[in-house]
Structure 1
Amino acid sequence: MNRTHSRRLAGVLAAALLTASVAACGGDEEPAEAGGGGELTTVTLASSPLGHLAPIYIAQDRGIFAKHGLKVEVDTETSDLTSVPSVLAGKVDFATGDLTTLIVARSKGLDVKAVVPASASTGKAGADYGALVVSGKSGITSPKQLDGKTVAVNILTNIAAAAAREAIRADGGDPESVKLVEIPFPQVPAAISEGRVDGAWVVEPFLSAAKAQGAVPVGWGFTDLAEDLTVSAWYTSGAFAKQKPQVASAFRDAVREAYAYAREHEDEIRAKIPTFTEITPEVAGRITLTGWRDEVSRQAAEKLVGYAQRDGLITTAPDLDELILS
């Protein structure tokens, strides 16, 4: 693992540990519960403004959250990497984080609790919302041909890096020979077309943008990682889940109802995406949407723990009963 980014992740998690310690010394104010007295309980959410938020916004518009006693406020400025300290400090109630990042955080003693999936693999190689891509002019036709080459991922210590490595390994290649470099997803299409990297792991809508600029998928690492892969989850702090169990349960139930609606109304999801992102209606109409799952996959989490240990992200496996809300 790249030492610079290992130190950066360690720094973020160390800050989160300090934040958690300070928060634990706070007052003893009795928390409100969802739906108490007929009033709505406001919960704050933090997530990057990507397509997986569409069911959340639609659920708010259609009164699904209100039905469960909640009103949501969404913060799209807090990144997944920096959301852990915010959640532990109580600045936001729920945030999205990729499952590998949450596993690493939990292994470091951070009290994070995965509540419900935020995004999931479709489970279909060739039709997933994330892929390992190369330039169509490169002559590369399979992941193992990236041995000894340079591959971009958005963060070197998260599930994107795990997916890129596993796509290469599953094809018989040697991911240890591959140089992973960090490039934000929005910059991947240009990096591929300009030849600055040989390959890249990228998700929608940037996957479609990359293909429009001549990139071609050669691997589908999400399906290589696990059959039923939870890619990211809405999570909270263990303290919040313990102090406000009805709110946590109400949020999970509302999100599940939102996903049930999304599965039956894909056109509405696609129409909603341009209203809170920079994605155009044309692009929103053709991207591959994330899978919507009701449960954080324990089987997938167990496999991701193994990958994290193998890749040197963690030394001790976290207790998944503590990580995943029952």
Structure 2
Amino acid sequence: MRRWWGVPLIVVALTGAGCSSTGPAQVSTTSDGLVHIKVGVSPSTASIAVYLGREKYFADQGVAVDLSVIQSGADAVPRLLNGSLDIALGDAVGTLQSAANNVPLRVVGTVTVSPDDPAKDYSGIVTADASIKDVAGLSGRTVAVNQLNGGAQLTAKSAIDARGGDSSKVKFVELPFPQMAAAVEAKRVDAAMVVEPFLSAGTKEGLTTVIAPQAYSVAGFPSTIFISAAKYADANGDAIGKFMTAVSAAGKAANADPAKSRTVAATFTDLPAATLQGIKLPIYAENAADTAGMTKMLALANKYGVLTKQPDMNALLGGTK
């Protein structure tokens, strides 16, 4: 099962090869005059901009959203394909892998982007070994990631190489995020690639951060994206455009007011208030309709051999990139 590495508290498996889109393609406009869109969101901080959008930004665009919590791509993708969801959150690498397996998806927008400031990176490669002072110290060591050949491993490899290390000499093993800190402390692994809230929790327990991997490898790349069934996306460009305009405004507001973002997150996540106050939040896309970063993610995935087959990027991005 593939997991959203850049987003806490949710697992994602965008594996739906062989599925076909049979659900209704047309958007629903009801007697209230609003365009209604069924959106799948995660119970994580990645969804803050969508929840914030319900306060006024969707209404400003004449849009009403019906939110459903999705726990995995195994849940989201079939629902997109049968029309019970119109748009859902997904992860960039998992979507590339699904598209390569001919799942009829479209990337219709960007939810969060990787930070360019190490101080704002909500991920980290952490260790309890004082001898590992930088990425060079990871050579010959074992590093835990939440999914082999997934987004976390891709980012970790790129960051290690970008800072003068050699990722080919690092052994990656798979562990769930909640188990990583204990594994590092017990020296079952030498280091781990963690995300919030596990990053803050681990550092409070004495783990040290070797590198902020997103900031040094994929700064500005899409980390969480909006996906849709090809059938829906191709028939509802205007509705998707309105939705992305609203999410862009909400994302800008979320970035500008972290306190407000944490208040919104408290309404739909299971994170305790104290934890929410201490973690680093994602960077929300302020131009949600811009999906061009997916081509950069594809290039990085190919550099590190993550894909066994190539996706049709023209189809995945709706023939616009």
Residues in 1 aligned to 2:78 and 2:303: alpha-carbon distance in whole angstroms = 26
Q: Which runs of 5+ in 2 are unaligned?
A: 3-12
Other structure's SS at 1:275 match: coil
- From 47, 68, 91, give the equivalent of 1:53: 47
User: 2:127 aligns to what?
Assistant: 134
CA–CA distance in structure 1, aligned partners of residues 297 and 80 of structure 2: 22
Residue of structure 1 equivalent to 2:27: 32
Q: Would you say the 8 A contact 2:126–2:194 is kept in 1?
A: yes
**Partner residue, 1:279:** 271
Structure 1 CA distance for aligned equivalents of residues 48 and 303 of structure 2: 35
SS of 2:266 mapped into structure 1: helix
Measure how far apart 1:301 and its partner are: 2.6
Contact 1:150–1:199, Cα closer than 8 Å, also in 2: yes
Residue 314 of structure 2 is aligned with which of 316, 321, 324?
Answer: 321
SS in 2 for 1:17: coil
**Number of equivalent positions:** 308
2:84 pairs with 1:103: no
Q: Aligned letter for 1:255?
A: V
SS at match of 2:247: helix
Aligned mates of 1:119, 1:19 — CA distance in 2: 27
What's the counterpart of residue 188 of structure 2? 196
Residue 240 to residue 275, structure 1, CA distance change in 2 (3 Å): same
Q: Give the secondary-structure state (helix, strand or coil) at the position aligned to 2:67.
A: strand
- The structure 1 segments of at least 4 consecutive aligned residues displaced by more than 4 Å after TM superposition are 295-299
**Structure 1 residue 287, shift from structure 2 partner:** 1.6
Aligned to 1:230: 222
State the match for 2:8 in structure 1: none
Alpha-carbon distance between aligned partners in 1 of 2:296 and 2:258, rounded to the nearest angstrom = 30
TM-score by length of 2: 0.85
Q: Please state how far the C-alpha of 1:96 moved relative to its aligned partner.
A: 1.6
Percent identical residues: 27
Residue 88 of structure 1 and its aligned partner are, at CA, apart by: 2.5
After superposition, give the CA deviation of every residue in 1:57-105 in whole Å (9 maximum; x if it has no partner).
Answer: 1221x13223333332333342246533332233322222221111222
The residue aligned with 1:86 is 79
Give the aligned residue type for 1:52. Answer: A
- Structure 1 residues 38 and 197, CA, compared in 2 at 3 Å: closer, same or farther? same
1:115–1:324 CA contact under 8 A, matched in 2? yes
Distance 1:161 1:297, change over 3 A: farther
Shift of 1:142: 1.0
CA distance in 2, matches of 1:194, 1:116: 41
- For 1:44 and 1:71, how far apart are their aligned partners in 2? 9
Deviation sequence 1:276-313 (CA, Å, 0-9, x none): 22222222222211112214666643332123223333
Gaps spanning 5+ residues in structure 1: where? 6-11
Structure-1 separation of matches of 2:201 and 2:216: 23
Structure 2 SS opposite 1:18: coil
Question: Could you tell me which residue of structure 2 aligns to residue 147 of structure 1?
Answer: 139
Q: 1:245 to 1:55 in 2, by over 3 A?
A: same
